[in-house]
Structures are given as structure tokens and as C-alpha cells.
Structure 1
Amino acid sequence: MRSVFSSVFSCCLLLAQGGAAALVGQPLSQGRAGRRSAVGMVTAAPELKDKQQSFDTSIAEVPKCPETVWNSENIDLAAVQSPSRVLPVEITAADVPEGMSQEEFFRARRPELLEQLTAGGAIWLRGFDLMKTKEGFASFYEQLELEPCQDPLASVGARAVVDKKSAMYEAVNKPSRAKFFVGMHAESTYKRTNRLGAFVCFKQAETGGEFLLLDGHKMLKDLDPAVLRRLYDKGVRFSNAELPFFDFLRTLPEPLQPLKEPLKGVFKAVAQVAVGAKIDMELELRWDENEEDGLRLLAFSPTQPPVNRHPVTGEPAWFCNVHSHSRYLRDGRDGKLVESSGASKLNVTNMFYGDLSEVSADDLKHIDEVTMKNLVYVPMEKGDVVLVDNYQVMHGRDVFTGERLHAVTWFQ
């Protein structure tokens, strides 16, 4: 019995690892990926050394990610206007005046750049030498006076820490995830959401691996009004992870079958205490059982709206991680995940209505179609940085081959 409790506790430490960022979808079809040429490598990239990977990647010297600013009541969905903007705003090293250093350029342009970021949703900084190193990347955001914060999922170690001093986390570069499409998502949990993010490329993949953007304003405008209304009225609830280690209870010997329900109660209580003490996500554990998945505990976040107002502009935007979290959409992109081990066994997510009823396949397909129609591919090269306003623009990552080294720092 001790080994079972030990397994439960270990699983709780891993629970939700992967979260919003490591929740990957499936490989794209060869036809769509093949229409884009890969960007050739011309310079070597720095290794992402000093990586800290554990079940907790909190950084004591850095503030926690701020709590999510929810402002979603009484939104007039019919009045939403589609913006005329095109993601992302592009700024290149050629824009730096002669005789001015790149650091001086960012410092002088700080107010203008931050205004452009709020108005445009995302900025792609191209061709700058400054951000080709970890130190230069940190200097870049210091010139903009951005205040780093921890990863929203720091308590569960969703990403390795690349550099504690600069609050830099590794993006989804793992070779084991190269063939999985990272679905579009805001970097957010129900409880915590960073305001801004800066994604940097230290080495682009041999092929693919483009950074992806999705305008939450256009998404909101293009969704079928009936689909949007259903989601908004009912709210959504995410199953963020699962503990799949309890199926032995279904096959207990006949004399022990009366113990199944009492043991379920014990295991759930122990796991819920461990999750509550460890994981900063307000998760509720619920049992689920079927022939395909067996008996397992699912970890649910509270009910939340799929639309949220921007904390600065007050404009509503699509703010729903269904594209990355929906099991139906992931399976449709790549087939069902093969059996895995460790944390990957737990990174199984799904989305439901707020009452935990199923979202129809037709509605999910429609959301996927609108998402893919509005997707923007950003083929970042070494030293490129994409600044993202996390409350109005979602991000993701295409499949890739070869080594890929990207990192990210979140800001309050």
C-alpha cells in the first residue's frame, strides 16, 4: 500500500506539468507544412546551459506571475468589431539610426514600442545582433523597463529554467515534441496570467518550428455567433491533467471488490491534499472511468469564460485555450498519443462546458477552422524576438526537424 501512496504523491508533484505551453497538439499534414520553405542556418547558436528542470521551477528572486484579471461580464458579442491590424508589427535592425547602439535604440523607443505592442498585439523584432545571446536578450528587455515574472506554471515545472537571473525559460524545444503541433493558447491558468511575453530565437530549426500567432480579436469576430454564444453562456472548464495509475482498482480480486469505492475515496483525498499544497492552480480532482482510458483522476480548473476584456484597453478578445487543450482536436491533428511514461502520461487535457457536458465535435471543428484561418507563421531567425500581448494574442509552435533553441521571459 505504501508504494501506491508514494506513486500518488509523485504524480501530484507532476500534475499539470506541461500546462498551457507544453500542451502539444499534433503534427501538421505534410501538404501544409511543405508549402513553406525553411529558413537556413547561418550562425551557431548559444547552448541553453544551466537549465534547471524539476517539479518546481519557481525563482525566489522573481515575483510570481500576477493573478488573472477576469473582466468578462455582460460582453455584447454582437458588437465586436474586427480589427484592421495585421500581426505582427515588424521592426528591423535597419530602423536603428546610424551611430546609435541597439540598446540605445530600444531605450529611446520604449514608450512608442509599448504603445505599438498594446495597439498591435505583437511585435516582431528582426535582424538584431543584441538578442543573439542570453545576456543581450536580458539587456534588451531591461531597456524597455519590462518587469519579469515567473512562469504561470512554475509550481509544476512546466519548463526548464534557462537563466534564473533573467527569468528565462526554455520554450518547447524537446526532440520528443518536435512532431507535435503546439496548439494556440494564451499563457494562462484560471488563477495566473502574465501580461506580456518575449520569445527569443537562439537557433531556428532545420525545417519548420515557426512561431505562431493568433489574433484574439479576429478570432472573436470570425466565430459563428451561435457557437460563441453557447461557449460564453455556459462557460468552459478544462481538464488540465490526469493521474492514470488507478486502473488496478477495476481488476481487484472478487473478495476485494467491496474495497474499490473506499479506496477511491482515500486516494482522491490524499491526491487532492497533495495537489492543493503543491500546485498553484485551484484544481479539483474527479474520477472518470471508461473502457478506453480505464480508471483515472482528472484535474479540473474552475469554470471560466472563453472571452475576456483586455486589462488596459477594455476590448474583449478570445481567451480560451481550447485549441491546445481539446483532446478531440489533438487526436484529429495527429491520431491518438502513443503510450508514454513519466510526466508525459499526465499531460492529457480536455475541455468541456462549465457544467462538464461535452462540446460537440461540430463546434470544435468550427473553432479549429477559424483558428487555422487566422494563424500567422513567424519564421524567427537567431536574435529575433517576438513580443506578445498575452491578453489579446495567442501563440503556438509548428512541428520541426533538427535542433531548435528558443526561450521566453514573461512579464507582469
Structure 2
Amino acid sequence: MNFTENLSVSTEFSEKGLPLLVTPNNADALSGSTVLWKQYQDDIRAVVKEYLHQYGGILFRGFQNFGQDSSCKEFANLFSSELLTYEFGSTPRTDLGEGVYTATEYPSHQIIPLHNEQAYTLQWPLNIWFHCVTAAETGGETPIADSRRIYNKIPTQIRERFEQKKLLYVRNYGGGLDLPWSKVFNTESRDEVEKYCRDHQIEAEWKGDGELRTKQLCQATAKHLTTGESVWFNQAHLFHVSNLEEATREVLLDIVEIEDLPRNVYYGDGSTIEDSILDEVRDVLDEESVFFPWQEGDFMMLDNMLAAHGRSTFTGKRKTVVAMANGYDSTKEN
């Protein structure tokens, strides 16, 4: 269907609705001719305003002058003049400058489970953009899912337990097992780390070996700031020790005590989250996942509270870059 005389929108990828596909109404655009997306910036803003909260994610395709790192910043700047830095990050990525980063740089054979960006903290971006610079030879999709549907499909007793107890994320940095604290906090200063933690309600502890352990009590679900809808909003299934392959888990626990694992998560009172509970959560995430093949030049905008994202395994070269904006601080809620 036509949104305007310039753009068309459709839900051809999934009966779940997302991502909404937006293409230019130009018969030659999808066959390779150059379509300057900046010609359509007013229409693009109008599509986002009309549909982002309804669908949670919008994929822009057929604007052929996408396909470079700088396009990510330029497109994101249509909606925010100030892009966010990747503070208190949990995965390796490369800073490409001016608020643009590579997507998580895990090996190609590893799956990145569905998650909402920085849902393991009390501060997170409200919007996130993905730009496909180089599509993988095979695989490499960025699966997405509607966090409202996930919330409603999580068994009630699990959801209520998570909401009542909340979640305690524990991280141990460095030691050759995870990102060093200097990388995570973008500083070599212990004082600056301690100040950041105080300001963000993170408990910091310097261990005897000079490494850092942090603990933070966070939400399990949230309400969308505009629509008021409830969403599943945490990374318990990703941080929990059960997310590790069994062989990897055994090796790690031979090296360190469970409290010294690079990352783990507990109920907010410090009690253990049962593996079986998180298996049920993962089943829901799998059921709600939507896959679509990237094409070079594609651009996807997500409402980070309404849509979760992940990454499939892939072969060949793959480059997807990311930008984030509109930071929200839940500690400042009235």
C-alpha cells in the first residue's frame, strides 16, 4: 500500500507485523538505480511517526545510496541530533566515531540471543538503528521480536515472579575472560569508574586481584513511555550461566568460582534463577522471532522498548553498523 505518493509500506515479512517494510515508489529503485534517500526525508519521518509505535520496527529498502558507515549517522540524525556512546557495554564492538559502532563482534558461528539494547541496566536508548553495509554470504540475519507479544506469552507465574523480585546482574571484568573494566567504562581511572557506578546505582567492588565486580538491581519488565504498553525488558536469559554451552560452563567453573563468572544474573534478592525458568523464557523468544534477509544498503529503525533484536550465525564477510539515541534514565522517574 502507498503511504504517500513517494513511499510504500507493507508487512510482507511476517504475520507478526514487524518489520514494516518501506520502499520508494520508484519502479527502478529496487532494480539498482540510485535513489537519494535524502529526497524522501520528510516522508521517512512521517512514516516513522505514523507507524513505529504500532509495529516496533521499520525496514527501509531500495534507497541505493545507503551502504557505508556514515549513512548510519546521517539517517539517525533525522530523528536525533545527538547520538549516544556505548557506555557500560557488555559485548565487544568497534567505535567508528560520531556515535556509530559495529554490531557486536562475536565469532560468526555464535548466535546472539534476542535482547533489548542495555536492558541489563537502568538507563537505555529508546531508539536504535542498524545499517547493512555488507551482507553475509549466508545467514547473518538480525532477528527481531515484539516485546509486547513476548510479555503476553511469558507464563504468568514466571512474569509475576520476575516483576516482584526484579533482577540482580553481576559482572566480573577482565581476567582474560571478559572485557576489561577500562574498556567497559572508557577510562583507566578507578575514581571515574566509582563515580559512574555511584551515579548509576551500580555497586562496585575492587577485588583482591585488582579486578572489578559490579552488581546492579534492574527491572524485569517495563511500560512503554508513550503507549503505556507492558513489555518484557531484561537480559536474564542472556546473562545467566545457563546461556553458556555446557562444555564452556564446565571449563569456566573449573577456573573460577560461580561468583567470579564474567557475568551472571540472580533474582533481586540474590537467590538463584532456575535453569528451567529461563528455558521457558527462551522458548517464547524463539516462537516470536522474525527473520528476514539483509540486503546491502538496508536500514532498520527499532523502538528499543517495543522490539528486541539478535543475530544469526553466518558465513562470509558481514558488516552491520549501529547507532543509538534518545537515552532514558529510569532512576529519574517520578
TM range (shorter): 0.7 to 0.9
Aligned to 1:183: 113
The answer on 1:195 being equivalent to 2:126 is: yes
- Which is strand-richer, 1 or 2? 2
> 1:113 offset after TM fit, Å?
2.1
The answer on 1:299 being equivalent to 2:214 is: yes
- Residue of structure 2 aligned with 1:315, choices 208, 225, 229: 229
Change (3 A) 1:324 1:191: same
The answer on 1:336 being equivalent to 2:249 is: yes
> 1:368 offset after TM fit, Å?
0.9
Aligned to 1:292: none
Change (3 A) 1:272 1:226: farther
The answer on 1:87 being equivalent to 2:22 is: no
User: Could you tell me how far apart the structure 1 residues matched to 2:103 and 2:293 are?
Assistant: 15
Alignment of 1:70-85 (within 5 A): 85=16
Question: Quick check: 1:184–1:323 contact (8 Å CA) kept in 2?
Answer: no
Between the two proteins, the alignment pairs up a number of residues equal to: 287
CA displacement 1:349-396 (0-9 Å, x = unmatched): 211100010111211110111111111113212100111100111111
- Residue of structure 2 aligned with 1:404, choices 318, 321, 324: 318
Question: Quick check: 1:217–1:392 contact (8 Å CA) kept in 2?
Answer: yes
User: Could you tell me how far apart the structure 1 residues matched to 2:267 and 2:281 are?
Assistant: 14
Q: Secondary structure at the match of 2:66?
A: helix
Aligned to 1:378: 292
Aligned to 2:82: 148
User: Could you tell me how far apart the structure 1 residues matched to 2:49 and 2:280 are?
Assistant: 34
Alignment of 1:10-409 (within 5 A): 85-94=16-25, 101-142=36-77, 144-153=78-87, 158-164=92-98, 167-173=99-105, 177-188=107-118, 189-242=120-173, 244=175, 275-277=193-195, 281-285=200-204, 298-301=213-216, 303-331=217-245, 335-336=248-249, 348-409=262-323
Q: Secondary structure at the match of 2:123?
A: coil
Query: Counterpart amino acid of 1:283?
Result: I
* TM-score when normalising by structure 1: 0.61
Question: Quick check: 2:72–2:130 contact (8 Å CA) kept in 1?
Answer: no
Q: Which moved more, 1:102-111 or 1:400-409?
A: 102-111
Question: Quick check: 2:72–2:129 contact (8 Å CA) kept in 1?
Answer: no
Question: Quick check: 1:209–1:404 contact (8 Å CA) kept in 2?
Answer: yes
Query: Counterpart amino acid of 2:103?
Result: A
Change (3 A) 1:152 1:282: farther
User: Could you tell me how far apart the structure 2 residues matched to 1:348 and 1:223 are?
Assistant: 27
Question: Quick check: 2:135–2:296 contact (8 Å CA) kept in 1?
Answer: yes
CA displacement 1:65-85 (0-9 Å, x = unmatched): xxxxxxxxxxxxxxxxxxx85
Change (3 A) 1:273 1:243: farther
Identity %: 22
Change (3 A) 1:354 1:149: same
- Which is helix-richer, 1 or 2? 1
Question: Quick check: 1:173–1:404 contact (8 Å CA) kept in 2?
Answer: no
Instruction: State which structure, 1 or 2, has the greater radius of gyration over its C-alpha atoms.
Output: 1
Q: Secondary structure at the match of 2:219?
A: coil
User: Could you tell me how far apart the structure 2 residues matched to 1:100 and 1:160 are?
Assistant: 29
Change (3 A) 1:125 1:100: closer
Question: Quick check: 1:196–1:389 contact (8 Å CA) kept in 2?
Answer: yes
Q: Secondary structure at the match of 1:380?
A: coil
User: Could you tell me how far apart the structure 2 residues matched to 1:321 and 1:237 are?
Assistant: 11
Aligned to 2:11: none
Q: Secondary structure at the match of 2:125?
A: coil
User: Could you tell me how far apart the structure 2 residues matched to 1:211 and 1:386 are?
Assistant: 10
